[in-house]
Chain A
Amino acid sequence: MSEATPAKNAFLANLGKIYAIYTGGFLAFVVFLGILEQLGVPERIIGFLFVGLTLAVYAGIGVLSRTMQVSEYYVAGRSVPALYNGMATAADWMSGASFLAMAGTLYLLGYDGMAFVVGWTGGYVLVAVLIAPFLRKFGAYTVPDFLAARFGGNVARFIGIIVLLAASFVYVVAQIRGTGLIAERFLNIPYNIGVFVGLAGILLCSMLGGMRAVTWTQVAQYIVLIIAYLVPVVIMSYKFTGVPIPQIMYGEALQQISQLEQTKEALAGVKPHIQPFTTYDPFNFFALIFCLMVGTASLPHVLMRFFTTPSVRQARYSVGWALFFIFILYFTAPAYAAFVKLEIYQNVLGSALNALPDWVYVWGAHGKVKICGVAAASVEAVQQACAAKGVSMLDWQNLSIAKDVVVIATPEIAGLPFVITGLVGAGGLAAAMSTADGLLLAMANALSHDIYYRMLDPTAPTGRRLIAARIILIGVAILGAITATVAPPDILKLVAWAFSLAAAGNFPALVLGIWWKRTNTTGAIAGMLAGFGVTLAYLIWTAAPPLGLGNPELFGLKNISAGLLGIPLGFIVMIVVSKMTAPPSPEMQALVDEIRTPKGGVVMDKS
């Protein structure tokens, strides 16, 4: 199936050993930096070493994995074992926002934030059962490639590319922005330059080796990000409860939070942490879960990871591993939220204005903590602002914290040395970069494989295809970086659109294309256009200006769950139009049978 070379076999046989040494090396590096800090090395240097060295390792893996073979470039030679593909998928999937802001969302929304936790994990059941193993059997290089083969050529392919670009571009801008911000904070370089430093790292990981290089860097990035996520909260759990298992011990924190909410004066009128449906009504809560799940199962940069496993059987297990590795982070996030909330309820709210803990000022100076409407940069600034408002005791209405503070401030809250803050920075960088790698590759592959090779020049020789793929990759990356430096921060709100757009555009066509033989070309094209079109129209219709028209919501359906209209509509149109037109040819029906049968090698190679 894949062209195996002795060097490659030795690499695959020793994966466990290689990544175990890597993990040990990384931990030793953290300890080494911790010792340097104790010896008096300044924080700036520690931050620089953290970001600089991890970037160098990722880039090194990228260079070592360079390739000139088409199947290596697009699907890593279909040789990635299930467990490692699961790790790579987890890094691919968890963005800078998952890493830094998920716990903060749970802090701010309480129970209602769980819609994100449930939605972003349950989607993998749909991936495993309905889609991934069949796409793996088919053996496409991209999602539009599958749509084209199943639905009669370039019209379906082109719509698939539009859906892919709509779902991926703003998303990648957000990741590049995230890498720029982290580079700014830890390397002390201006944001606009930070963006291009981050970009250079991202490109080194993906350009020379395509999917193969991205796979092995994503595994390395997963290891860094999960260590960085767990270490601070494990230590905090130990300090608060005496047991270093935050995922189990935060029940105690929840109890204390509930008690304080009822008794503490500074918390009068706050919405209780565990009370459901305070931000979203039940309709929107479940609509959001549904859209996030179906969206997860439709994002091309996630689906394409399952093209890389050695077999259909391994593709199935690989989805399980992917969710397992994602689960480790997501089932820890509620513990972060609870411990930080308890700290704030106990030691920040209700305190005298000159007796707030130090971490408030550390992150207040970055504008992340605001008290009485101003950044809490110093005791004087806080006292002045509160005096003007007539506030003498800090209550919950006069404190606002940025979502990402919950994770990045935890080291200071737990009284840990700066090296742990640096570790969290390296983790956030790994999360943002690994997602950016996957998104850029998905977009560049669609443009180079689907548009250039399949539509424009089907006779292009291998060498030229791979050079085109790289030129397009650099082009898309630079376009993303420029957008990240010039576009207003408002644009990041568009990221939430990606899920609904991908879900409405791709999901019905992928599921029916596999599970219902009668789906024909006309039906699929009509359904994709209807689902995607209606979702996009609703997003633009309801989003606040300047992104949309700011019209009132229909049926109270929030903008973020727009897919609830488009997904069912896509299914209905696809079924009705297919029924009204002629069934697919016997050859096409035979192709569907082949996709459904694991035996017999990939379908694509035969045609």
Chain B
Amino acid sequence: MNGYWEETRGLMIKALVVWFIFAFVVHAFVNVLNQVVIFGFPLGFWMAAQGSLIVFVLLIFWYARRQNAIDEKYGVAEED
């Protein structure tokens, strides 16, 4: 049981680190990133308009899969 909560907390911290980077850190470097232009998009602008959003969506699905796997591993998943 203890191991379960440690792992859950570890996953939470990992997810929030990724969240923090794409919510705040990348956008602090917007002017640097804007030097790079892909398909007409200055990269710094694109990260705020679309890039971070894509990361957030993928992050939640990744988190859900990992957490469900942790539940299985420790036998605390719900019976269907």
A interface list, Cβ under 8 A from B: 111, 114, 117-118, 121-122, 124-126, 128-130, 133, 247-248, 251-255, 274, 276, 282, 285-286, 289-290, 293, 311-313, 316-317, 319-320, 323-324, 327, 330-331, 334, 515, 593, 596-600
Q: Across the interface, which residues of A come within 8 angstroms of B67, CB to CB?
A: 133, 316
Q: Tell me whether chain A's interface is mostly helix, strand or loop, or mixed.
A: helix
- Contact between B45 and A128 (Cβ–Cβ < 8 Å)? no
- Contact between A118 and B23 (Cβ–Cβ < 8 Å)? yes
- Contact between B49 and A331 (Cβ–Cβ < 8 Å)? yes
- Contact between B48 and A128 (Cβ–Cβ < 8 Å)? no
Sample of 4 more A-B contacts, CB < 8 Å, known A118-B53, A253-B40, A327-B57: A114-B48, A118-B27, A327-B53, A600-B78
Pick the contact of A251 from B24, B40, B57 — CB < 8 Å?
B40
B interface list, Cβ under 8 A from A: 1, 4-5, 8-9, 12, 15-16, 19, 22-24, 27-28, 30-31, 34, 38-42, 44-46, 48-50, 52-54, 56-57, 59-61, 63-64, 67-68, 71, 75-80
- Contact between A122 and B63 (Cβ–Cβ < 8 Å)? no
- Listed A/B pairs (16) with beta-carbon separation below 8 Å: A125-B23, A125-B59, A125-B60, A128-B60, A130-B12, A247-B50, A251-B39, A251-B41, A252-B40, A253-B40, A290-B24, A320-B57, A331-B49, A515-B12, A598-B71, A599-B77
Query: Shortest beta-carbon distance, A354 to chain B, in Å?
Result: 34
- Contact between A334 and B57 (Cβ–Cβ < 8 Å)? no
Pick the contact of B27 from A254, A286, A311, A319 — CB < 8 Å?
A286
Q: Across the interface, which residues of A come within 8 angstroms of B42, CB to CB?
A: 254, 274
Query: Shortest beta-carbon distance, B41 to chain A, in Å?
Result: 4
- Contact between A111 and B15 (Cβ–Cβ < 8 Å)? no
Q: Tell me whether chain B's interface is mostly helix, strand or loop, or mixed.
A: helix
Query: Shortest beta-carbon distance, B16 to chain A, in Å?
Result: 6
Pick the contact of B19 from A114, A122, A252, A312 — CB < 8 Å?
A122
* A335 vs B61: C-alpha distance when bound (angstroms): 26
Query: Shortest beta-carbon distance, A40 to chain B, in Å?
Result: 42
Residue in chain B with minimal CB distance to A315? B64
- Contact between B78 and A311 (Cβ–Cβ < 8 Å)? yes
Q: Across the interface, which residues of A come within 8 angstroms of B1, CB to CB?
A: 593, 597
